[in-house]
Chains A and B, each alone.
Chain A
Amino acid sequence: MMFNRLNNLLFGSLRKQLMVGMVLVISLMMGLFVWGMISRQQDEEIKSHTLQVSALAESTATSSAVWVASRDYSGLQEIVLGIAHYPQLNYIIVLDLHGQVLAHNDSSKIGLYLTDMPQKNEQTVVNRTSNLVEAISPISLSGQQVGWVRLGINRGHFQEEIALIRRDGLVLTLIGIVLSVLAAFFAGRILTRRLSAIQQVADRVEAGQSLARVALVGEDEAARLAKQFNRMLDSLSQREVAIKESEERFRSIFEHSSSVMLLIDPSSGKIVEGNAAAISYYGYAREHLTSLTINEINTLPAEQVAEERQRALHEERNYFIFQHRLALGEIRDVEVYSTPIESGGRRLLFSIVHDVTQRKLAEIALRKSEGKLNAVLQTMVDGLVTIDTAGVITFANQAAQNILSISKEAISGKYFQSQEFRQVGENGAPFPQEQLPLAIALREQREVSNVVHAIVTPDNKFKWLSVNAAPLFDEDGNLAGGIATFIDITERKKTEEEIRANEERMRIFFDNVPLGIFSSTREGKLVYVNPALPKMLGYESQEDLVEVVNRTSVAETLYVDPPLRQELMQELDKDYSHWKTIENRYFCKDGQIIDAIVSIGERQDSITGETIFDGIVTDITERKKLEEVQNFLAKTTSVHLGESFLKIWLAICRRVWACSMSVLIVSKAMV
């Protein structure tokens, strides 16, 4: 308060400032000048005094040395009294080394002691009092100190001279200040007369006369200032119009926007204004809405809402998710964008409110869906891997990790063509990288199915996979990556290998066994014959036999007694689990007839379901001939011997048949 009053008194107007400035400059310069002069005078005087005092002390010490050394105190006193007439000399004392006064201009002091004797054997000059300079000089004779001289010079007259100079300087300074004040006053009056015209216009503009302008002629600084001032007023007017237009634009946008907009006082939270959309959205009348605070709409605690407002005010944050309560009590999720604006000279928060309730519901549904999908992906038996366009693995489900015997951390973020994943083809050679299903899917943007290759697991085992891959596209149809599903076919591959081996063994057996083996349909068409059968029947090859027989049927082509086959089938139909063994007679290709024992069984084809008859043919033509010979001989020699031979032969045939049947059953089962 005090400072303000003093400030106003000294600097309240340009004229006062000018006067104060002049006073400061003059007083400073004069003060420095007087101070400098006095200081210099003092320095010179002190230097002169010091020299005088030093010289006098040294001279006295020199002249008194002999007297001190000789203890001629009367002569010493004469010397001292001779010097005592020196102008301004206050005292002169000659002392011995113990401080005893040997001679003094005041003879009553002789014999006394001075208590403050110097410690060093050297000349010193000190200001003993404000008006007294003292010089102390050692008295030496032939380098041996024998005493001291102390003399004091009064410089009171000099102080008086200095005081006089100071007084004169002060008077001159005051005169200078007075003159400078007068000069500043008149100069200020001349200078500020034209400035006051500008001031008056400024006052009128402030009072609302925005079109008022300064009319100063001339080219001096005031006139130039007036022109610049007028230009500034013009600029301000234009800016004011622009601001008004801007405010109107804002007002229009605010009012007509379909978005919910609010103006909120950041300190109290009071809703200063809401647009038509806000009134419609919240369901309050305009007057009611502007009587509320945002705390009554926002479901968060008032303190938290106030904190968020301050964050928005300080532009630390401008995006918020709140829940707002509508007039009817319905709670809605809203997204709020708040930014501080200046309006009517105060700061307000301009908030745009978007209802995101539906979006949030959709998000929840999406999250649920994603959860399900994720559950499916994680629980499906097939392995599933996705990659981005760069080939980096972005997802691998649990089955993929299990099949590949690799952890999620070890697979995620890796390139699917990484060296860590060693793929091997069915031929045992490394699988070409460019032929990997995902590589094809990415490169050619097409689906790839049932590609089989192995991947070498970390424990160096082959995992055989059957892989499908397809490209993934984003919503714009651009390639976004790829997806691959795969199953572990290692066990299947193993089984197939075993079957293949068994079949090969059976083929070798069938090709080399000396019995004819065939398979035929119910209609009598040959499905299979082994190499021994055409050989047995005189055909050139298996194909030749099949081709000839299948022109008609087995019964018609080969059977000597065609109806026998029908009877045989009927018996087998009755009990298809047991094979039938009969003797039969067959036509060879050349028309000859052979005797054979045929064992036939019935079965269903595992693929077609068709009834198939498998048979084993043993050529017994020679045996029959032999039997005939035996019969002939038996008739003539021993019937018993023939019977025994027949029994042995039949036993052999039964064993061959049993063996063939077991092989056939195994082979069929494998098929």
Chain B
Amino acid sequence: MFRLISLCYLFIAFALAACEQQPTDKPLQYSNAPTGTQTPVNRLVPHPLYNPQKLSETFQPLVDYLNRQVPAANLQLETSRDYQAFEKKFRAREGEFLMPNPWQTLEAQKVGYHVISMWGDAADFKGIFIVRKDSGIKVPADLKGKVVSYPSPTALAAAIMPQYFLHKNGIDINKDIQNNYVGSQESSIMNVYLGQSIAGATWQPPWRLFQKGHPAEAAQLKVIWETPSLINNSVMVREDVPQAIRDGVRQALLDLPTTPEGRKILDRMETARFHAADDASYEIVRDYIKRFEKEVRLVERK
């Protein structure tokens, strides 16, 4: 018996030594077409008033809501890394729906987008200056020789209007201060907190979000000035989007305050409601920009 077991053992040992489990080869398979049919999507592209992460957190519920209300719209949220990227997109007519700021609204109109709604109350659209509580800044003149941060040179409420405010208060923004465009609203505030700039320009919704998201940091900051209000951001649709989808989205936006879910979405966006608006509603911005460019600087370097 021992001998038989020994022989079996030898056989099994050699057999095991000869065997090793090999994984099945599964090389990557590429093709020129997707495996399934794809439903056409309409991209909703908000302007980067927050960083992409926060922008996604804020606007994704709105997109989901609109898709439920207007299934044919099949909206997909698309963020932008910064204002320049956003503006580059809509100028290339990428994105069927836009949520630009007032100045960008005027720009988008040039490439075939039309206003279907205004996003928030007009009175809420005003620029603010954030400083550290220990900064010692009391009047705009105290900014002279200091660095002031903005999200982007094209940001109406967070750059154009604050600079026009400083201009009106005797500051030559091209000489008296150093303008630092940091890409986003939150970055503009964080620059102040970190001491990279003495003051940071932004507007109310981002500031309220910052206070919620960074209470410890926000406690060391304060709003020192507000600009006069103008008109709020818009919702635009590209001219080739079917009328039914356009009307459906517009009506769903206007109906948001009528439902608890809608009000919750609006709260998240730090917005009271959407108002009916059209391209003509933004003509005041055109006048404002004209004055600004004439008195302060060009919004965009050509």
Binding site for B on A (CB under 8 A): 6-7, 10-11, 20-21, 24, 27-28, 31, 65-67, 69-72, 75, 91, 98-101, 109, 112-117, 126-130, 141-144, 150, 152
B77 / chain A contacts, CB cutoff of 8 Å: 69, 144
Q: How far is the CA of A558 from the CA of B77 in the complex (A)?
A: 176
- Contact (A24, B9) CB under 8 Å given A112-B30, A129-B27: yes
B23 engages A70 (CB within 8 Å): no
Q: How many Å from the CB of B36 to the closest CB on chain A?
A: 8
What mask results when residues 205 to 230 of chain B are scored 1 for a CB within 8 Å of chain A, else 0?
A: 00000000000000000000000000
A21 / chain B contacts, CB cutoff of 8 Å: 6
The reply to whether the CB of B259 lies closer than 8 angstroms to some CB of chain A is no
The reply to whether the CB of B85 lies closer than 8 angstroms to some CB of chain A is yes
What mask results when residues 135 to 149 of chain B are scored 1 for a CB within 8 Å of chain A, else 0?
A: 000000000000000
- Contact (A99, B35) CB under 8 Å given A70-B79, A70-B85, A130-B25: yes
B32 engages A10 (CB within 8 Å): no
The reply to whether the CB of B33 lies closer than 8 angstroms to some CB of chain A is yes
A144 / chain B contacts, CB cutoff of 8 Å: 56, 60, 77
Q: How many Å from the CB of A490 to the closest CB on chain B?
A: 88
Q: How far is the CA of A143 from the CA of B78 in the complex (A)?
A: 14
Binding site for A on B (CB under 8 A): 3, 6-7, 9-10, 13, 17, 22-23, 25-36, 38, 51-53, 56-57, 60, 77-81, 85, 89, 94
B17 / chain A contacts, CB cutoff of 8 Å: 31
Residue of A nearest to B52 (CB): A66
Q: How far is the CA of A203 from the CA of B115 in the complex (A)?
A: 117
Within the complex, which residue of A71, A75, A112, A130 is in contact with B31, where a contact is CB–CB below 8 Å?
A112
Residue of A nearest to B32 (CB): A112
Q: How far is the CA of A141 from the CA of B80 in the complex (A)?
A: 13
B7 engages A6 (CB within 8 Å): yes
Within the complex, which residue of B3, B26, B29, B81 is in contact with A67, where a contact is CB–CB below 8 Å?
B81
Within the complex, which residue of A71, A109, A128 is in contact with B26, where a contact is CB–CB below 8 Å?
A128
Residue of B nearest to A108 (CB): B30
A10 / chain B contacts, CB cutoff of 8 Å: 3, 6-7
**13 interchain pairs, CB-CB under 8 A:** A7-B7, A21-B6, A24-B9, A27-B13, A28-B9, A31-B13, A65-B52, A69-B79, A114-B29, A115-B29, A128-B28, A142-B53, A144-B60
A24 engages B10 (CB within 8 Å): yes
Q: How far is the CA of A31 from the CA of B10 in the complex (A)?
A: 12
A142 engages B57 (CB within 8 Å): yes
B13 / chain A contacts, CB cutoff of 8 Å: 27-28, 31
Within the complex, which residue of A72, A112, A115, A150 is in contact with B85, where a contact is CB–CB below 8 Å?
A72
B6 / chain A contacts, CB cutoff of 8 Å: 10-11, 20-21, 24
B56 engages A129 (CB within 8 Å): no
- Contact (A11, B81) CB under 8 Å given A98-B34, A142-B57: no
Q: How many Å from the CB of A254 to the closest CB on chain B?
A: 43
Q: How far is the CA of A71 from the CA of B78 in the complex (A)?
A: 7
B32 / chain A contacts, CB cutoff of 8 Å: 112-113
Q: How many Å from the CB of B39 to the closest CB on chain A?
A: 10
Residue of B nearest to A3 (CB): B7
B94 / chain A contacts, CB cutoff of 8 Å: 71
A114 engages B26 (CB within 8 Å): no
B89 / chain A contacts, CB cutoff of 8 Å: 71
B10 / chain A contacts, CB cutoff of 8 Å: 24
Q: How far is the CA of A11 from the CA of B1 in the complex (A)?
A: 12
Question: Which are the 6 A-B pairs with shortest beta-carbon distances?
Answer: A142-B56, A66-B52, A142-B57, A127-B23, A141-B56, A112-B30
B80 / chain A contacts, CB cutoff of 8 Å: 70, 72
Q: How far is the CA of A172 from the CA of B13 in the complex (A)?
A: 16
Q: How far is the CA of A141 from the CA of B38 in the complex (A)?
A: 22
A143 / chain B contacts, CB cutoff of 8 Å: 60
Q: How far is the CA of A144 from the CA of B59 in the complex (A)?
A: 11
B33 / chain A contacts, CB cutoff of 8 Å: 113
Q: How many Å from the CB of B26 to the closest CB on chain A?
A: 5
A142 engages B9 (CB within 8 Å): no
- Contact (A72, B81) CB under 8 Å given A142-B53, A144-B56: yes
Q: How far is the CA of A24 from the CA of B12 in the complex (A)?
A: 12
B3 engages A129 (CB within 8 Å): no
A117 / chain B contacts, CB cutoff of 8 Å: 35
B35 engages A115 (CB within 8 Å): yes
Q: How many Å from the CB of A505 to the closest CB on chain B?
A: 111
B81 engages A66 (CB within 8 Å): yes
Q: How far is the CA of A591 from the CA of B36 in the complex (A)?
A: 172
Residue of A nearest to B54 (CB): A142
Q: How far is the CA of A69 from the CA of B57 in the complex (A)?
A: 12
